[in-house]
Chains A and B, each alone.
Chain A
């Protein structure tokens, strides 16, 4: 039973470029949340997808967008990359959107913006 998987593991981009990160949820899960974790900090909530729609969003600009596919996998897109976007991007999946449902985290994608 596979857990949450993310790809790629590492990524290096330059300022102004665009990036797409991918997440496959844990088997049986239908909800995907994305987090940004800067070095030495806790994760910060970006947004959550359920039934192929963005259900809730944290305090992130429109440069951050996402998508959920019918098989529940998800993508995070970041446009016009800034140096400050360098971080570990974590995907978490759960069954349903209730705040009482446990979220399981993937290992993350380390994005470096030069």
Chain B
């Protein structure tokens, strides 16, 4: 099935650095979401965006819903070791939620 284009595929950063990842699609979505998945767990919602142009923060995380409704980005500031994991973007229209392939984040202390 069609998935979103998420980049980068992986990132290796030093603790304290900022991180940015993004997601693009050829389709328009009503909702953009960002999830984090740890090994052996299901994805956990980090941020949900409901309006084009919306910029939302959740602690050290900031995400934006692109004005064209076809893209979104997630920034993590001042990374810490527990930020390690796989981050997924997801676009949703009605019940159908499409996911990106994920960004694997490694944080070196």
A contacts, CB < 8 Å to B: 4, 33, 40-45, 48, 55-56, 58-59, 90, 92, 97, 99-100, 102-108
Contact = CB atoms under 8 A, between A and B. Distances in A.
A102 B96 contact: no
Contact of B3 (A33, A44, A108): A44
Contacts of A107: 40-42
28 contacts: A33-B97, A40-B101, A41-B3, A42-B3, A42-B4, A42-B6, A42-B99, A42-B102, A43-B43, A43-B97, A43-B99, A44-B99, A45-B96, A45-B98, A55-B95, A59-B1, A97-B94, A99-B30, A99-B92, A99-B93, A99-B94, A100-B30, A102-B45, A102-B48, A103-B97, A105-B43, A107-B40, A107-B41
Contacts, number: 65
A32 B72 CA distance: 26
Contacts of A97: 94-95
B25 interface: no
A59 B100 CA distance: 16
B44 A105 contact: yes
Interface residues of B, number: 27
B31 A108 contact: no
Interface string B37-64: 0001111110010100000000000000
A31 to B, nearest CB: 8
B73 interface: no
Given A59-B1, A99-B94, A90 B42 contact: yes
Nearest to A55: B95
B88 interface: yes
